[in-house]
Structures are given as structure tokens and as C-alpha cells.
Chain A
């Protein structure tokens, strides 16, 4: 028996056998193709080559702009290799011999790489690495974004992987994937957020452990405590079977709460809304007792498929969400792509930047690709006819940026007007406060902005300079840091002064530990992971406003994150002893 410790991101226990996915090792699915598929497979090979060339050309242009012609020449040499007549001829010959293009590419380029390596010398060894890199690029296009294995599950498994991308996670088949665990990733990585939304027990950020799994042993994923147990002994297995049952009964108890009003003991209403990624989550979110959608992460529309969604795709998706919440607010956050979320179609335009979190992402991407942005805004304004839709811009860092985004929205409204297409004119417009500059300037923003939503995930990452997915610094990512509390305080004060609403939509608001503090600071609206709603409601129903204010006042005097978090943990234990029993 081996116990691996990681970060608990989605509660629950899953017991079963493992499916192990390697890091970059593409598993080549079929070695042979059928005789009648030869032409089709050749075409597939050429499509992949074209796609790789497009990718390299984009890099070439970028290098020319930033570094000059001689660096761009590196890429033109790569282009020549991808279009190399010998490569194409030899791969085609192999396909004609019924080998799969994946296998053929891997074989031909592998041979050249090996040859160069054997010829000796540092220079050629490096070139052979370049060639293997190209092989990977071509294979990635041949195999598609999704790893083959995940698409073809026929029996329940626990997925163990080095990493799962958000789109891979979103595409996990809930029928067969009982739980997953990854080597990389942090609390607020999008993969983790998705796992929570899908209610699949998950542990991330375990560090290297895949080598210890052969694939035949029983695995336990304890998503409540962040543990992965390989080959458990009889006693442990029994304990977990029992806790699996207890977890379910706890869930049943919380379910009863969903029908009860969300009021503090002294009768103050707190609004708990849901964060969703996909329109089909809206219904289940409502069943959990959500008072609307406080954060609809529309970028998953882009990540789901490799093509860019059309205006109609957006429109249909928004209408579906509004249908589940006809009388309650539905806040559409415009696309927040970039950083760890980049769809295949855009990846060629934005090759890996040196520091993606500080590069073209989110509203910056939208403002650079107005057509992309306008398509989404058109759909949102049209859908707004059917409910209380609101629009929120992410990652606003300066007033100018906010004004620019608003101007694009006015343009779109004007276009719709001219074309005689029905839409709603008075859609409330707000912004995420998730960049420290915006939190500092909250007072100025509050004069112009319709509503604030505190995106604590990015706010913490940018304030504390901690990459949320980087295992080496993940322990420095602390929601309870006094600097974060002070930023929140500043934003709440500004909102109060200018009488606009402020909610919290980051992971921080889904954590019951922080809820009394945030309520005590004056926040009455939260947007949370749907599965957290019942638990948070239980906390609210045990709380009074004076008590919350007292907790906030005390917490705000503490100097270090650890003290804040310990204090809040102790208070929560006193408030809701039942909640902590599961631990």
C-alpha cells in the first residue's frame, strides 16, 4: 500500500481500477489501416502537415516581428522539413503499405532523428531533437486534441494522468470516470474547477507518482482529503467503503437544505448563485438551490470543440441557461481565454508566450480580436430579451480598458439596431475585479461600472505573485492573506459608496471557512461552485450578521495568512460542528 498526498479539489471517494495516461507520450492507436482507407489516411496526413505549417508560419511571423529575420529563418527551415519531399514520399509509401499515418510519421522522422544523433556532434544531436519535436507536432494534429484513450472508455475507471487539460476534463465521460488524480495542477486550476462542477472526486498536484502505478492494482481517490492510495490493504479498503457510504448520507442531508430559504439567523437574505461552465449545468445548479448564475464561464464554448463557436452557438447556449433561470440574474462573463485555457483554433495565433498569465488573455484577447468579441456580445444582447441577463468583462486592469470594452458593446448594439434585430438595450454591465490595479482603483471604477464581481483566484495569484498551478509555490497561494482581505475591503467600500452591488465569484467564496468573514465584510452576494451551495447555506443559517462582523473585524487585525485561516477555521467549527464531522 502506498499513500500519495495532493490537493483536494473535488470531494468524495472513488474506488476502482486505474487507467494511466502518460505526459507527452502519445500512444499510437492503431498500427494498421484498412485497404480502403488508404486515400483517406493520406488526406489526413496532409491535413496534419498543413496545420503544422500554419502553426510554424505563425511562429515565424512572430519571431520576425520580435527578433528579426535571422531568427525567423529557424522556422523557415522547420517549414522545409515538414514539407520535405523525402518525408512525404516515405510516409505515403508506408500508408500505402497499410500503416497508419501516425505510425508512419513516427517511424520516418524517428529514423532521421536517430541517424543524426548517431552521426555525432552537438550540432546534429540538437537537430535530431528538433526533428523529434516536429514529430510530436504532427502527431498532435493527427491524434487531435484529445488523447485517444479517454474517448473510448467502456468500463468504469479512475483516471491517473500527468495532467488533464480543461477540455479533456470537460469531455470526461461521467458514466465511466469515477474519479481522477493528476501530478500537476493546483486548487484553482481550471481542471480542478471543472472537476468540482462535474462532481467527480479529484486530487491534483500530487507530484510524480505515475511510475508507481502498474495499472492492475486497486486505487482509492479520496477527493475530500487529497489522497490517492495505491493498492490499499484490507483495513483501509473497508474504511473507505464505509466513508463512501457516509459521504453519500451527508450529501442526502445537505440536499434537504436546498429547499430552505437562504437567510441568516437574524433574517438577512444572502444570495448564493452558481458558477457554471456549460449550459446543461444550469438545471442541476437550480436544483441545488442557486439564486441565479453569478458566473457563466463562456470560454468553455470555445474549448469544447476545435472550431470557433458561431453567434448562433452562443445564442442557443445563453437561451438555455436563461430558460432554467427565467426570473433570476444570469451573469455572462465574456470569454476568458488564454493562460491555461486556449482553444486549438487560437493556439496557432498565440504560441506559448513567455509568461501567459501576464500576456494576451481574457479581455485583452477580446479587444485584439474584435470579431470574436462582437460575435459573443451580439448573441448576449439578443438572448437578454428572455431574462435578466447581465454582461461582465473579465481581467479589466485599467479604466480605459473597461471603456473600450463598453464601446465595443455600444457598437454591437448599434449594428443590431440598424439591422432591425431585436435585443435588450438596458443590459447591466459589470466587471470582474481580479487584477490588483482594479482593486486599488475600485473607487474610480465604481463611478462607471454597473456591478463588481471579485474574482479571487486571479486576484490572489496576481497580488501574491504565485502561479496557482505551480506545485513548487502552491503553498504560498493563500486566500487568507491580509493583503487580499485589504483589497476586498477596498472594493466593498467603493461599491457601498457608489451604491453598486459586489459579489465574490472565486474559489474563496465556495470555501465555508471564508464565508462568515466575507459576509462580515459586507458582501451579501456570492457565486459559487454549485455543489458547495447546500453546505454554504448551512453556514449562513447558523450565522448572525453581528457575529459575522465580529469575525471579520478580528480577522482583519491579523498579520499573516496562517493566523487568519486558523482563526476562521476555529470559528467555523464552533458555528457548524456537523460540517466538520466528515473530517
Chain B
């Protein structure tokens, strides 16, 4: 996919607890639906967004600014979905797990 389209978005963490287990899980579930690679980065730290393990290592607290990179067709759909997830604060109504 050398000529693959890359969709980029800047996302801001708005929920109080930051990217703890549950949001990371939601991101990974969404990313795994996409056939191409999905990268989330915070500064120089890059994480495979399909991997909960890697997402945790971003240690993205409230108000962190993250860069999303979706590679491949229909990447804009996923990018849109991610924006929604982030801006809704992951609709986390229960305590962090």
C-alpha cells in the first residue's frame, strides 16, 4: 500500500481519568475493525492503536494532545469514529477499571 491514503486527526483527551483501561479498550476495538494500520502518538511515543498494551504506554492523561494516523481506504470513517469517541469522553459512566 505504498500509495495508500493517510488520514490524520488531532485528538484531545477530555475525560477526567485519561486513557485508562476502558477507553484504551474502546479505541483498540474500533481500530481492529479497520484493515490498515492505525497509529496513535503522543509526542515521540507511537502506539499501535489496535494494541491495548501499546495504548496503555501512551499514558495519555486529561488534556493530552494525540495524533491519529489511519492508513488505507475508508480511513476517514475510522478517523471520524475516533473523534467522536474522544470528544464524548468515551461515555464512561462508571469508575475506571
On whether the beta carbons of B52 and A123 are closer than 8 Å, the reply is: no
Known A-B contacts A84-B51, A84-B52; A77 and B57 likewise in contact (beta carbons under 8 Å): no
On whether the beta carbons of B56 and A127 are closer than 8 Å, the reply is: yes
**Min CB–CB distance A134 → chain B (angstroms):** 10
On whether the beta carbons of A119 and B59 are closer than 8 Å, the reply is: yes
On whether the beta carbons of A123 and B53 are closer than 8 Å, the reply is: no
Instruction: Pick out which of these stretches binds chain B: A29-37, A68-76, A155-163, A286-294.
Output: A68-76
A-B interface pairs (CB < 8 A), number: 54
Which listed residue (B21, B57, B94, B95) contacts A115, Cβ 8 A?
Answer: B57
Within 8 A of B (CB), among A430-481: none
Main SS at interface, chain A: helix
Chain B residues with CB under 8 Å of A112's CB are: 53, 56-57
Of chain B, the residue at the smallest CB distance from A116 is B56
On whether the beta carbons of A124 and B56 are closer than 8 Å, the reply is: yes
Known A-B contacts A73-B22, A77-B22; A85 and B97 likewise in contact (beta carbons under 8 Å): no
Q: Could you list 5 further interchain pairs (A-B, Cβ under 8 angstroms) beyond the known A86-B53, A87-B53?
A: A73-B25, A77-B21, A81-B52, A85-B50, A112-B57
On whether the beta carbons of B57 and A119 are closer than 8 Å, the reply is: yes
Known A-B contacts A115-B57, A123-B20, A124-B59; A80 and B97 likewise in contact (beta carbons under 8 Å): no
Q: Mask for A111-136, Cβ within 8 A of B = 1, else 0? A: 01001100101011001000100000
On whether the beta carbons of B51 and A87 are closer than 8 Å, the reply is: yes
Chain A residues with CB under 8 Å of B59's CB are: 119, 121, 124
Q: Mask for B46-87, Cβ within 8 A of A = 1, else 0? A: 001011111011010000000000000000000000000000
On whether the beta carbons of B57 and A70 are closer than 8 Å, the reply is: no
- What is the CA–CA distance of A116 and B22 in the complex, to the nearest angstrom? 16
Interface set of B (CB-CB < 8 Å, partner A): 20-22, 24-25, 28-29, 32, 48, 50-54, 56-57, 59, 94-97
Chain A residues with CB under 8 Å of B54's CB are: 86
27 A-B contacts (beta carbon < 8 Å): A70-B94, A70-B95, A70-B97, A73-B22, A76-B25, A77-B21, A77-B22, A77-B24, A77-B25, A77-B97, A80-B28, A81-B52, A81-B53, A84-B51, A84-B53, A85-B48, A86-B51, A86-B54, A87-B51, A115-B57, A116-B56, A119-B57, A119-B59, A121-B59, A123-B96, A124-B59, A127-B21
Of chain B, the residue at the smallest CB distance from A81 is B52
Q: Mask for A330-371, Cβ within 8 A of B = 1, else 0? A: 000000000000000000000000000000000000000000
Chain B residues with CB under 8 Å of A77's CB are: 21-22, 24-25, 52, 97
Interface set of A (CB-CB < 8 Å, partner B): 70-71, 73-74, 76-77, 80-81, 84-87, 112, 115-116, 119, 121, 123-124, 127, 131
Chain A residues with CB under 8 Å of B50's CB are: 85-86
On whether the beta carbons of A116 and B57 are closer than 8 Å, the reply is: yes
**Min CB–CB distance A370 → chain B (angstroms):** 36
Of chain B, the residue at the smallest CB distance from A75 is B97
Which listed residue (A86, A116, A127) contacts B48, Cβ 8 A?
Answer: A86
**Min CB–CB distance A82 → chain B (angstroms):** 10
**Min CB–CB distance B79 → chain A (angstroms):** 20
Chain B residues with CB under 8 Å of A131's CB are: 53
Of chain B, the residue at the smallest CB distance from A72 is B97
Chain A residues with CB under 8 Å of B28's CB are: 80, 84
- What is the CA–CA distance of A127 and B21 in the complex, to the nearest angstrom? 8
